[in-house]
Each structure stands twice: as C-alpha cells, then as structure tokens.
Chain A
Amino acid sequence: MNFNGTFTQVIDELVQQVMPSLVIVRGHRYGAGAGIVWDTNGLILTNNHVVGRHTPVVILQNDGEYESRLLARDPDVDLALLSIEATNLTPLKPVSGSPRVGEMVFAFGHPWGQRNTVTRGIVSALTFAQNRRGDTLPIVRSDVPLAPGNSGGPLVNASGEVIGINAMIVGGDQSVSIAASVANDFVRKALANSNIEGKRSQRTPQDVI
C-alpha cells in the first residue's frame, strides 16, 4: 500500500475533527489546563485539579473567553464539570467500547502553555488506580508524553473518540488518563443530581465550592 501523503492527510483530518472541542481552562491563581467541550450547549469537562479554588475562565478555539460555572466536581475521580453560556459548540464523542492495548492515541492539550498541541502514542495498559476512598478507578496508561497543561484535555483514538481524560503525569514516562467510562458516569450523575438548567442560569458564588 502506498502511504505517501495519505498518512499526513488522515492525521490532519483527525486534528481538524478534534481541535474545535479543545478548550483552555484558566484558573484564577494557577496556570492553565485543558478542557473538553462535552455538549453543544456549553458543558465543559476538565480535571478537578485544574479548577482550583475558584471557577475558571474557559477559552474556546475562537478565542472567546467565558466565565464558567462549576456544576460538579469530584476530587476522587479528578473530574469537574463546568458550564459556559455558549451554544452551537462542537462536542467530542466518548468511545463506546473498551480501548485496546496497542491502539494509537492522540493527546490534545496545552503542555507547558504551548497552545493546541497534539502528541501521539499508543495505549500502554488498561489498569486501575486507587483513590482516597479506596475505590478502584479504571485508567488508561499511554506512552504519550504528557506535561502540565495537558491536564483535562482529551486522549482520543484513531477515530477521534475520547478514550480518556488526561490527568496525571507519574514519573517521567507513565502518562495516565481517566477512562472515558468514568467521565461518562461522572457527567451522568452530575446532571442527574443537579437542576442543571437552574444552575446554568444562576451565578455560582465564586468562593463557595
């Protein structure tokens, strides 16, 4: 098979497909992390540790800056759900099945503040981390080099589906992403437990979290 040119093209298509859903999540005191557009009407998923003590500013690909509201956060899965007042956004689709060890993955984020960076690798291991509650949390380990600023961004497969939320950098070369199934559960519970429409229209006090 002649891959000449084809490969560059398919990677470019993947980047074009995923990039609109990548946002910057800028805390008020700390550096910026990444976030994922989760629905068309302003739901943004990111890491809990990116949010910090104050609700952050979300910056879209069109450079639009939005004050966000914190809908839910859970340090035990290191996820937070934000809402911004924007519509017609392009969300990413979470993967439906289980990822496979060896499949290609691409991390989107802003490592070391370098905006809209794409790094590639493969799924290294499908394993578990234990959180403070003692729960086991399914995680995706990959050989993608992640750095601060990747946190909260998506790890996508070759089809552009989210298979993980980039979270932790363990040591130098073990990158950890929270499995998409965990993110799905987190968002589902967050939406079920709160009157989202009410919360969306009501300003969250910035210092009460």
Chain B
Amino acid sequence: MSKSVLVELSDALADAAEKAGKATVLVNARRRIPASGIAYSAELILTADHVIEREEDIKVNLADGTEVPAKVAGRDAGSDVAVLKLERPVETATVAEVSKSPARLGQIALVLGRPSTNGIEASLGTVSAIGGPIRTGRGGMLERYIRTDGISYPGFSGGPLVAADGTVLGLNTSGLANGAAVTIPADIAWNIAETLAKHGRIKRGYLGIRSQSVEIPSNSQTLLKREQATGLLILSVENDSPAAKGGLMVGDILIAVAGTPVLHHDELFSRLNGDVVGKSTPIEILRGGQPQTVNIVVGER
C-alpha cells in the first residue's frame, strides 16, 4: 500500500512534464540543433535571445507537431529574452501556466525542453540557489535568478523550469552566465516579454553620472526617517546629460529613484530599466546632509 506513494510521486512528475510539455515548443532559428520555447499566448512564444541566430525563416514546432513560421516580435540581448510571433495564432496551442508562488530553495523542479520533434525531454533537479541581482554577461541586469541541479541538455535554452504541479517557475537559458544554465524567474521573464511584445525592445535608462557607494551618516538617516545604510556618491556629471539638466551635482548622494531606495550601483542599474525611461522621475538625494528630491527626465542609452 505504501508502495503507491512512490508510484504516485512518479505519476505526478510525469503528469507535470506532460502538462508543461504541451506549452513547450521547438524553436528553430539557428543552424545547430534547435532550441526550446514557451507558449506565452496563442500567437506569442517566449524564448532565449541567444538561440535566435537568424531573423528570417524561423520555425516553431508546437507540442502537437504543428509547424508554424514565426517572426521576432521583440528581443533583448541584455536579459537574453526574446518573443516570437507566430504567423498565425494557433487556437489549439496550450499556453503555459505560470506558478503562483515563486521558486523556493530545495523545491523539486523539472527542466524541460523540446530540441527535437521526437517529443518532450526532461531532467529532474532541485532549486539549488536563488540569487541576484547580477550583471549578465550580455550587458543587462538580472534582479533575481534561479539555479538548479537538473541537467540542461543541448537545445534546452528557452524552455521552462517546471514545478511539481506542472506550472512554470522560469525560463532556462545557458546564455547569461558563460554557458552555465540559469533560470530567469517567471515573473521577470513574463514582464520582459510583455514589454518586448509591446515595444520590441527593452529601454535602458541613462542619467549620465559616475558614482560610488558610500555610507549614509546616522543624522541624515534620522532626517530621512528610514534606515538606509548606503547611497551613491556622485563623482562626476556628464555635460548635457539628463543628470546635468535635472540639476544633479558632484557631491550629491543619490538615495532613491521613484520612491525606491538605491543602496548600490547595481540597484540603480535595475531601477533605471523599463518604465522610467523618457519620463520625469523623482530622484531623492542628500545634499549637504539634507534630503532633497529633484525631478529628472531619464534618458535612454
């Protein structure tokens, strides 16, 4: 009787692979073996940017075997995310279900891919690390990443990391960390995909300052009415840059962007991505130890 526990677990894993496998597609946009992708909607496929080596003659094979030509709807080398648009929406396509809770350390996870037309492929692992933010090897910034000890077989980039219930925890890619497999958490990947589907690219903000992390004196923290250990001391301001136009000065300590505290350079980097670009954005600074807010129209790099 207790034997069935093992069979039940085994069946559950196979069910999860089958469920998520229906939303895992083959993406053929390079000369080597094809890569994988995730059905984001009836006509959009989420995949890794680095597996798109040509923008013409891209083919997507759905789980049911249907081959559909596709075009690049948007791509971002920095985060290694790309969105493909199928030439025609496929109503029968199964759209991936995103996991309601983010990945947890130690959780069982399936690494899924569809690098051939022979069917879905999988390996089993556990979530072995959740980290970030890190600078990607491709000039972008990843706020969080997931690492697993599951095997990423050739052609698995662009495929999903799947929880035991068949929902998607993230997008797997070997393109961000010198060939090692990492997983972009689903919420981040889906956000990027949404922007890519709308705008075709990710806007990266530009202020025009050089800075270094410094400690914030306790009396300034008292004035701030919050505990913030560090901020960014502005070392130089480029001429005619958004920072210069907004009135930032050498010696100011930048402490928040649009209401979110910024403690380190990497955080400024991620704060300046996306929505704030081109918009007047409140930048909180300490000037002469006093908190002050200036509005800066964030430029685009």
Contacts and interface: CB of A to CB of B under 8 A. Distances in A.
Given A124-B123, A143-B124, A158-B9, A100 B18 contact: yes
Given A7-B5, A158-B7, A158-B10, A125 B119 contact: yes
Contacts of A14: 3, 6
A127 B2 contact: no
B17 A100 contact: yes
Interface of A: 3, 6-7, 9-11, 13-14, 100-104, 121-128, 141, 143, 157-159, 173-174
Size class of the B contact interface (CB-based, 8 Å): 20 to 34
Given A127-B116, A158-B6, A159-B3, 20 more contacts: A6-B2, A7-B6, A9-B2, A11-B6, A101-B21, A101-B119, A102-B15, A102-B17, A102-B110, A104-B13, A122-B122, A122-B124, A123-B122, A124-B121, A125-B119, A127-B118, A127-B119, A158-B11, A159-B7, A173-B151
Interface string B112-145: 0000101111111000000000000000000000
Contacts of B17: 100-102, 122
B10 A104 contact: yes
Contacts of A102: 13-18, 110, 122, 124
Interface string B1-45: 011011101110111111001000000000000000000000000
Nearest to B162: A102
B160 interface: no
B153 interface: yes
B150 interface: yes
Contacts of A173: 151, 153
A151 to B, nearest CB: 20
A-B pairs, top 7 by smallest CB distance, nearest first, are A102-B17, A158-B10, A100-B14, A104-B10, A102-B14, A143-B123, A125-B121
Interface of B: 2-3, 5-7, 9-11, 13-18, 21, 110, 116, 118-124, 150-151, 153
Given A101-B14, A104-B13, A158-B7, A125 B151 contact: no
A103 B6 CA distance: 10
Given A100-B18, A103-B11, A104-B13, A126 B6 contact: no
15 contacts: A100-B14, A101-B14, A101-B119, A102-B15, A103-B10, A103-B11, A122-B13, A122-B123, A122-B124, A124-B123, A125-B118, A127-B118, A128-B118, A143-B122, A158-B11
Contacts, number: 86
Nearest to A1: B5
B151 A104 contact: no
B9 A104 contact: yes
Contacts of B119: 101, 125-127
Contacts of B121: 101, 124-125, 141
Nearest to A125: B121
A121 B126 CA distance: 12
A164 to B, nearest CB: 15
A101 B10 CA distance: 10
A174 B5 CA distance: 28
Contacts of A101: 14, 17-18, 21, 119-122
Contacts of A158: 6-7, 9-11
A6 B10 CA distance: 15
Contacts of A124: 121-123, 151, 153
A111 to B, nearest CB: 17
Contacts of A9: 2
B115 to A, nearest CB: 9
